[in-house]
Amino acid sequence: MGMPHITSGGVRLYFEEHGRGYPVIFLHEFESDYRSWEAQVQYFGRAYRCIAFNARGYPPSDVPDDPGLYGWQRSVADVMAVMQSLSIARAHLVGSSMGGYVALQCGLQYPEKVSSIVAAATGAGSLPSQRDRWAAKTGALARAMTARGMKGMARKMANHRTSLQLKYKDRKAWCRFSSRLEQHSAAGMSHTMARHQAVRPSLYDLRDDLSRMEVPVLLAVGDEDELCLETNLMLKSVLPAAGLWVCANTGHGINLEEPAAFNTHVESFFGAVERVSWRRDYPVKNLAPAENRSVHFLGGVVL
């Protein structure tokens, strides 16, 4: 029997599924893969149907040779293909960094399919003052991965300042993170960096669209995640149904560094959304009056 997969635009995507209940789809960050969600899948699989899959370019998902088969738009389409293939009409989306960006785009483009979004450590490279530097950095990194391979790059990437908090807090978890980086496809990561990370629109450029998005959002960011902290403050001010959790003494890998706290906050968020009490009594900015709008959730209607 072959490994479980779904097909999106001719590209096979490996997935794992655990638990029964309302669906939760986990979207990994650039430097990780589906295994980065082990602590969350183990916990939430007791009450939810948890699906974690590898993005295109991350074995055992396919690694297309054509750079044109990568990009943030294709990542959004991949989430929709996973949902369609697994007969999921609506789901909670939990994304980290690159995955968080994709989750927000899914909320913008397919709000009827997204019950809620957890966007963790999301927004690197979005600050207007960082855009030129971000383009240069991502381009150089894409070329370096192709030239040096992942064994040559993994240790450097794992020791980046955004990952050092994990190293200091949990050496074993950091070693797993570093080892998995070595196992990634250099070609897949290079194409993902060049065609997805480097060229995706800044979240600042999406402010008008985000201000009209009614999907409940939990923003989660570490207070030492300097690439994302300011952008999350912007997102909190713009998204009408968002709450912001800032985790103390924490870097980019918030779900790896503080899995218990992460699970607790996400569980509380899911519960509030499912009880229709997430920001229920707060004034909602930039939306039509309540009598003129409805948000479908779990087969019901939220007014």
Confidence (pLDDT) at 281: 64
Question: Between 301 and 184, where is the model more confident?
Answer: 184
282 — pLDDT class (breaks 50, 70, 90): low
Domain encompassing residue 103: 5-131+201-302
Percent of the chain, pLDDT > 70?
91
Does the residue 175 lie in any domain?
Answer: no
CATH number at residue 244: 3.40.50.1820
Report if residue 147 sits inside a domain.
Answer: no
Count structural domains, the chain.
1
Which pLDDT score, from 0 to 100, does residue 2 have?
67
Tell me, yes or no, whether 89 lies in a domain. yes
161: in domain:
no
Say if 156 falls within a structural domain: no
Which pLDDT score is estimated for 283? 60
Write down the pTM of the prediction.
Answer: 0.91
18, part of any domain? yes
**Looking at the domain assignment, is residue 293 inside a domain?**
yes
Establish if 120 belongs to a structural domain. Answer: yes
Dump pLDDT digits (tens) for 100-117: 999 999 999 999 999 999
The DSSP annotation for the chain comes to -PPPEEEETTEEEEEEEE--SEEEEEE--TT--GGGGHHHHHHHTTTEEEEEEPPTTSTTS---S-GGG-SHHHHHHHHHHHHHHTT-SSEEEEEETHHHHHHHHHHHH-GGGEEEEEEES--TT-SGGGHHHHHHHHHHHHHHHHHHHHHHHHHHHHTSTTTHHHHHH-HHHHHHHHHHHHHS-HHHHHHHIIIIITTSPPGGGGHHHHTT--S-EEEEEETT-TTTHHHHHHHHHH-TTEEEEEETT--S-HHHHSHHHHHHHHHHHHHHHHTT-TTTTSPPTTS--GGG--EEETTEEE-
Query: Average pLDDT for residues 137-152, to the nearest whole number?
Result: 93
